Amino acid sequence: MERVRIALQKSGRLSEDSLSLLKNCGLHIDRSKDQLFCRVKELPIDILMIRDDDILGFVGSGICDLGIVGENVFAEKQESARIVERLGFSFCRLSIAVPESSTYQNLKDLDEKTIATSYPALLQKALLKQGVKAKILDMTGSVEVAPRLKIADAICDIVASGATLTANNLREIEVLLESEALLIRSSKKLCEEKEKTIQRLWNRMRGTLQATDSKYIMLHAEKARLPDIVRLLPGAESPTVLPLQGSEDEIAVHAVCREAVFWETLEKLEEAGASAILVLPIEKMMNCERKERKYERYFEPCSL
């Protein structure tokens, strides 16, 4: 049996969420220390744990069939891998940041200045787009110290929580790219066996990803209030309405909500006359039509 190879980040921003996604897909990955290669028992899949900067190359060259990589890395390196789907975790952004004490307000203010970055291609693109002539100082890491060392006026780097910027007295002035984890695949044609395994894994992944945002809501209400209540259920398509034993005008409403359910939503439901409101987590979903996600797409995903 041909085994599908998946490249994951060994340690860092993506690795924990990537592993837990695969776990939720029913794959057991025994990660003994320093082990870079794991054989999965449940499906014909092998996992390679490598540096995030290597994932794209491994998938692009066909050493691995699938990979989970940050959009920032994908956008920077022009490899011939294709995006299967955005995974909705490991959100971060590529931003321009300047010393707190400086007066720069945006990228245009950095004309003739020096910007340190590990993302020279993306920075170059942004500079060209805005017609800004700045010098790019290509650094492989520790970009945030460049302004303090007086080797650059600004940096272009990944920001997630913002803690690194704060710790280095830097201020974010412009976002160049919003990034999240991407599932990518090699552009090479794969054998039928591998395609089947990938399809199975992908169905499970979709089920897991859909379930993450979704909740099952159950409540009681007067029949007459039903339209108001249905309107308040976030992302619910067609709720199930059930009679309540021993009650003429009260009903039970059950619905799968495809969007986050906040306390505010429950308060509004209560105001609209709902009682006995229960919100239940959904572990897995199968064959449920998926709603288009809302954020703007930088790259179009390919179909499997």
Give the interface with ligand PRP as residue ranges (CB under 6 A): 12-13, 52, 141, 143, 157-164
Specify whether the backbone of 88 is left (phi greater than 0), alpha (psi in -120 to 50) or beta: left
Helices 192-213 and 15-24: crossing angle, nearest 10°? 100
Helix, strand or coil, per DSSP, at residue 10: coil
Binding partner of 13, given Zn ion, ligand PRP, none, CB within 5-8 angstroms per partner class: ligand PRP
Site string for Zn ion, 31-70 (x = CB under 5 A): ---------------------x------------------
Helix, strand or coil, per DSSP, at residue 217: strand
| Closest CB to Zn ion among residues 52, 144 | 52
CB of 71 to ligand PRP, least distance (A): 12
Binding partner of 191, given ligand PRP, Zn ion, none, CB within 5-8 angstroms per partner class: none
Distance of alpha carbon 267 from its chain centroid, rounded?
Answer: 30
Gap between the Cα atoms of 13 and 139, Å rounded? 20
CB of 167 to Zn ion, least distance (A): 18
| Closest CB to ligand PRP among residues 178, 259 | 178
144 in contact with Zn ion (CB under 5 A): no
Helix, strand or coil, per DSSP, at residue 12: coil
> Which residue is at the shortest CB distance from Zn ion?
52
| Closest CB to ligand PRP among residues 124, 164 | 164
What is the pairing mode between strands 215-222 and 250-257?
antiparallel
Gap between the Cα atoms of 60 and 35, Å rounded? 23
CB of 131 to Zn ion, least distance (A): 30
Binding partner of 57, given ligand PRP, Zn ion, none, CB within 5-8 angstroms per partner class: none
Binding partner of 243, given ligand PRP, Zn ion, none, CB within 5-8 angstroms per partner class: none
| Closest CB to Zn ion among residues 35, 142 | 142
| Closest CB to ligand PRP among residues 149, 163 | 163
Alpha helix stretches (DSSP H) within the chain:
15-24, 52-60, 71-76, 120-130, 163-167, 192-213, 226-232, 263-271
Residues that bind Zn ion (CB under 5 A): 52
